[in-house]
Amino acid sequence: MKIAFFDAKPYDIPAFTKYGKAAGIGFKFYETKLNEDTVALAQGADGVCVFVNDTVNAMVIDRLASGGVKFVALRCAGYNNVDLDYAAGNVRVVRVPAYSPYAVAEHAMALLLTSVRRIHKAYNRTKDFNFSLSGLTGFDLHGKTVGVVGTGRIGRVFIDICRGFGMKVLAYDKFPAKDAGIDYVPLDELFGESDVISFHCPLTEETFHLVNRETVKRMKKGVILVNTSRGALIDSEALLEGIKERHIGAACLDVYEEEGDVFFRDLSGHIFDDDTLARLITMPNVLVTSHQAFLTEEALDNIAATTVENLAALRDGKPCANELTKQGQR
């Protein structure tokens, strides 16, 4: 079985090579992303392996299918970059729903702690032998209310971490987890009552720009937003306005809605074209990491193992619990 592997990074290759060899699956690694211009690289492969910023739209799916590709393996949980409706009947799509919920949830808390305790500012100061405490006053998380939007595996792990800090937890999910002991409330109530709001839901038509000019107005003054899910959950312009108006107290972002041409690349020697992201990064109360919440040794190993298991099941005609249909996960 031959798989064209797009948007490959050095940290992807060892685990995929190991598990692929054991399962009789060969990966050809390409640094380029999959899109209309690069889809020809998959010609003759049985499948493609793609990540969050690869494009799997109708045009790409047509080209894949005509080139003999039967399988699309997402090595991530989200699938908003795949046209599932069009894929039906053309290619089969699988994903990795849970590689390490701990990795993402822990990164969300790391961002939050860094922000509220000004750790990034203190680190930069001490590098210059500046040991002043002026401007570094933070606040306790204990006793604060955190709103968690999305209570899948990652969201529930994040809730457990917040409870460990003594935080009051409110949650919203279109499909609440039964008997989970979680206090579910309407989204407007969550926005209005939370000191911190953390997003752990998929990007869909319903959740696109969940944070916008109107919803920001409903939030507490000084609210801290944490997003380790998908960038387009937050309208970046509305976020910038909310920060400039001093309504949003801080933002901790591991994702950004226009990250496709930016994240996972070294642009330090280039003119930066994205004015919105550039302005966000200059804000003293905004933390940005480059979609690295998943990046732990355990998660990378689990991603490779599950992706190979998915592909082997499709190859061997076995049921695959991680296959996606028009309606989502089967």
- The answer, yes or no, to whether residue 269 has pLDDT greater than 90, is no
Same domain, 210 and 312: no
Same domain, 216 and 145: yes
Same domain, 7 and 20: yes
Same domain, 91 and 105: no
Same domain, 28 and 128: no
CATH of the domain at 242: 3.40.50.720
Q: How confident is the model over 124-144, as a mean pLDDT?
A: 97
Q: How confident is the model over 158-164, as a mean pLDDT?
A: 98
What pLDDT, on a 0 to 100 scale, did the predictor assign at position 315? Answer: 97
Same domain, 30 and 62: yes
- The answer, yes or no, to whether residue 100 has pLDDT greater than 80, is yes
pLDDT tens for 168-203 read 999 999 999 988 899 999 999 999 999 999 999 999
Q: How confident is the model over 106-112, as a mean pLDDT?
A: 98
Same domain, 254 and 154: yes
Task: Report the 3 state secondary structure along the chain.
Answer: CEEEECCCCCCCHHHHHHHHHHHCCEEEECCCCCCCCCHHHHCCCCEEEECCCCCECHHHHHHHHHCCCCEEEECCCCCCCECHHHHCCCCEEECCCCCCHHHHHHHHHHHHHHHHCCHHHHHHHHHCCCCCCCCCCCCCCCCCEEEEECCCHHHHHHHHHHHHCCCEEEEECCCCCCCCCCCECCHHHHHHHCCEEEECCCCCCCCCCCECHHHHHHCCCCEEEEECCCHHHECHHHHHHHHHCCCEEEEEECCCCCHHHCCCCCCCCCCCCCHHHHHHHHCCCEEECCCCCCCCHHHHHHHHHHHHHHHHHHHCCCCCCCEEECCEEC
DSSP-assigned beta bridge partners for residue 226: 198, 252
Same domain, 278 and 302: no
Same domain, 207 and 309: no
Percent of the chain exceeding pLDDT 90 equals 90
Q: How confident is the model over 95-118, as a mean pLDDT?
A: 95
What pLDDT, on a 0 to 100 scale, did the predictor assign at position 327? Answer: 54
Q: How far apart are CA 233 and CA 210, in angstroms?
A: 5
**272: exposed, middle or buried (C-beta count within 10 Å: 0-12, 13-18, 19+)?**
exposed
- The answer, yes or no, to whether residue 120 has pLDDT greater than 50, is yes
**Overall domain count for the chain:** 2
- Edge to edge, the sheet with strand 92-94 lists 26-29, 2-5, 47-50, 71-74, 92-94, 323-325, 328-329
189 catalytic? Reply is no
- The answer, yes or no, to whether residue 330 has pLDDT greater than 60, is no
Q: Which of 95, 153, 156, 259 is catalytic?
A: 259
Same domain, 325 and 242: no
- The answer, yes or no, to whether residue 328 has pLDDT greater than 60, is no
Q: Which of 92, 156, 291, 309 is catalytic?
A: 291
pLDDT tens for 212-235 read 999 999 999 999 999 999 999 999
Same domain, 121 and 252: yes
- Edge to edge, the sheet with strand 286-288 lists 168-172, 145-149, 196-199, 223-227, 248-253, 286-288
Percent of the chain exceeding pLDDT 70 equals 99
Q: How confident is the model over 99-111, as a mean pLDDT?
A: 95
Range of the domain at 21: 2-99+297-329
Q: How confident is the model at residue 305 (pLDDT cuts 50, 70, 90)?
A: very high
- The answer, yes or no, to whether residue 329 has pLDDT greater than 50, is no
pLDDT tens for 33-54 read 999 999 999 999 999 999 999 9
230 catalytic? Reply is yes
- The answer, yes or no, to whether residue 265 has pLDDT greater than 90, is no
What pLDDT, on a 0 to 100 scale, did the predictor assign at position 22? Answer: 97
323 catalytic? Reply is no
Same domain, 156 and 145: yes
Q: Which of 156, 200, 230, 257 is catalytic?
A: 230
Question: For 164, what's the count of Cα atoms within 13 Å in the CB-facing half-sphere?
Answer: 8
Q: How far apart are CA 165 and CA 105, in angstroms?
A: 14
